[in-house]
Structure 1
Amino acid sequence: MPNGTIKDIEEGYKYLGIMRSNINHVAEGPDLINNMLGILLRLRKEPIDIACDVEKMFHNFYVNKEIRDFLRFLWFGKDGAIKDYCMKVHLFGATSSPAVATYSLQKLADQHREETSAASEFIKRNFYVDDGITSVSTTAEAIELITEARNLCKKGNLSLHKFVSNKIEGLRELPDTERAVQDVDLYSDNLPAQRTLGIEWSVNKDVLRFTNSGIQQKPSTRRGILSTVSQLYDPLGFLAPYTLVGKKILQKVNKSGTDWDKPFAKDVQEPWKKWVQELDMLDTIKIPRCIKPTGFETVKRSELHHFCDGSIDGIGA
């Protein structure tokens, strides 16, 4: 236990209240974060993918001295007394940090666009806060992009690390500490799966897959259905035919007016039980990460075909 007295702590909380009111006045800033769906779609364009992130991104950007009072906090000193400090760098949890860090990263890319156009484009368009992912056509292009991006970030005193790729040739020249998979044989057929913006990715087979390991079973109530269905993370909509069934069950329970924490009607219990049992089948779903089949030749022309349909239950596109 800290040595501060009750009076010290009470005074500290009063002071902290003042600090919190200051933090509430820090502007969130413009939404500069790239669209996640666009990044994931570009990840699927080419046969060779690259993923990495900026090490301690927020802490790499300093706060101007005249506004550091907005980021003050209380801490117990070694003598037990409560002291106040202020952050010199942007911190995780502040509403302003994502906008400041993203703006600074994109500014760095703009400043060096002429000499490193590919790396600048990668950093400008294919980073989601501190996570960068993209896909390229050849191994040589991947190696060049990794080298350029690392050098470009070093000019801003930033470090790219946790690199991963489905082509080991692009990673062999990297220090072991800068790879996402460390202390393993890169030629192994059993490389651990990675997560790319929340989606699980099997490196060896280069497929996107799903698992129910993180889904917690909830009671068979209206609140339980909402919680269970909401746990399925699927930004690209691969599971839509399945999740739509769960949402239809929730829709039916909502219309019935059933209390949030009471068991719902028996006519809904059976389809809900069946839907929950099918969660175990998520492990069998594997989607090729690249939309081009293996050995696909150079694309001469691309066409986009759009299909959509609607019903009282949902909309599909």
Structure 2
Amino acid sequence: MIDNGHAEPVAESTAETGQVWYLPHFSVYHPKKGKIRVVFDASVHFQNKYLNEELLPGQDHINSLVGILLRFRTKPIALSCDIQKMFLNFKVTTEHRDYLRFLWVNPNLSEVKEYRMTAHLFGATSFPGVATFALRKLATQNSSKNPEASAFITKNFYVDDGLASVASVPEAIKLIGDATKICADANLRLHKFASNNRDVLKSIPITERASETQGLDLYKEKLPAKRTLGLEWRTDDDCFTFSNNLTKKPNTRRGILSVVSQIYDPLGLLTPFLLQGKMIMQRACKESEKWDDDVPEDITNDWNRWKSQLDELQDISIPVLPV
């Protein structure tokens, strides 16, 4: 973060001047990506104050998730992409950086250093609004020169994830090129491109493709599945699928709620199945007094029967052909 200019040392001359705030931080490891992300906690209280209560969220510019997913498959050629480290690419004004200080201890515990963020960070109330507003502003500035790419950035991004569908391969290639250039001019990198069309993928530099396709022989091998806004998109045969990666929980009210809540279904494709699980949860709330008590035997039997069907979710595929 320091090498990339996202954080800077606090100068000794300013170490004790003005108002400051120190943020606790911790690391989160993503097992699938093999990466560690630093997360700052802007909701930690100190003397009855915390940073997030002093920040305003601003106007909600985030697009509807359902709307993006529906527009994603109105035309036959689909593509998705991602803005690399979106929040960290937007700078915080110098006079506000002292509210984003943090301490760093050397590995040998011999020295504690003070740093402060120069860029927006995950976890602060105001920063999603700032980043989304800036992205829309960028699109507006380019709307007359590149209307299609500007509309894509404005309407079809959910924070840092972009999804689109177009009528032909040439349109897809042009859209990717124009959107990439608009973002690059503002020091934003569009990458992790995926598509259901091999010709579109061939037009994209290997380093800018999604990691699942970087080492792929596009002439011979099957296109892999891609996680898209929480949905499993099987690009080779263009279907939405579901996987069962749920953690095991005890047969209690808390455990049942946890399992039902883990199934992500923004388009309601699994509603007939999920409704059964929610009805079991409703019965458990009525007949079990405490959250961590085992539910009655009749509910346990119905719950185990419902859970036994979870593995069959991976056999469901929803064709996402254009309407």
Mapping of 1:176-215 within 5 angstroms? 176-180=206-210, 181-212=213-244, 214-215=245-246
Deviation at 1:77, TM superposition (A): 5.2
Deviation at 1:134, TM superposition (A): 1.2
Which range is displaced more, 56-65 or 265-274? 265-274
Deviation at 1:203, TM superposition (A): 1.1
TM-score, normalising length: structure 2:
0.81
Q: Is 1:50 matched up with 2:82?
A: no
Distance 1:284 1:75, change over 3 A: same
Q: Tell me the secondary structure at the aligned position of residue 53 of structure 1.
A: strand
Mapping of 1:266-285 within 5 angstroms? 266-285=297-316
Q: Give distance in 2, aligned partners of 1:228 and 1:15.
A: 36
Q: Is 1:119 matched up with 2:149?
A: yes
Deviation at 1:93, TM superposition (A): 2.4
Q: Tell me the secondary structure at the aligned position of residue 171 of structure 1.
A: helix
2:104 to 75, 90, 102: 75
Unaligned ranges ≥5, structure 2: 1-20, 24-45
Distance 1:220 1:281, change over 3 A: same
Tell me the equivalent position of 1:61. 90
Q: Tell me the secondary structure at the aligned position of residue 62 of structure 1.
A: coil
Q: Give distance in 2, aligned partners of 1:15 and 1:186.
A: 49
| Paired amino acid for 2:298 | D
TM-score, normalising length: structure 1:
0.83
Q: Give distance in 1, aligned partners of 2:256 and 2:316.
A: 22
Deviation at 1:58, TM superposition (A): 1.1
- Work out the percentage of aligned pairs sharing the same amino acid: 49
Q: Work out whether residues 23 and 71 of structure 1, in 8 Å CA contact, stay in contact via their aligned partners in 2.
A: no
Q: Work out whether residues 87 and 121 of structure 2, in 8 Å CA contact, stay in contact via their aligned partners in 1.
A: yes
Which range is displaced more, 177-186 or 249-258? 249-258
Tell me the equivalent position of 1:157. 187
Report which of the two structures shows the higher radius of gyration computed on alpha carbons. Answer: 1
1:110 to 132, 140, 152: 140
Q: Give distance in 1, aligned partners of 2:284 and 2:230.
A: 29
| Paired amino acid for 1:223 | R
Deviation at 1:192, TM superposition (A): 2.2
State the number of aligned residues.
278
Distance 1:15 1:275, change over 3 A: closer
Q: Give distance in 2, aligned partners of 1:42 and 1:84.
A: 46
Q: Work out whether residues 26 and 70 of structure 1, in 8 Å CA contact, stay in contact via their aligned partners in 2.
A: no
Unaligned ranges ≥5, structure 1: 1-13, 293-317
Q: Work out whether residues 253 and 288 of structure 2, in 8 Å CA contact, stay in contact via their aligned partners in 1.
A: no
Tell me the equivalent position of 2:7. none
Q: Cα deviation per residue 1:164-200 (whole Å; 9 max; x = unaligned)?
A: 0001111212211100021211234422210000100
| Paired amino acid for 2:299 | V
Q: Give distance in 2, aligned partners of 1:15 and 1:195.
A: 35
Deviation at 1:258, TM superposition (A): 3.3
Q: Tell me the secondary structure at the aligned position of residue 141 of structure 1.
A: helix
Deviation at 1:23, TM superposition (A): 5.4
Deviation at 1:28, TM superposition (A): 2.5
Deviation at 1:92, TM superposition (A): 2.2
After superposing on structure 2, the runs of 4+ consecutive aligned residues of structure 1 that deviate more than 3 Å are: 14-18, 20-24
Q: Give distance in 2, aligned partners of 1:184 and 1:237.
A: 33
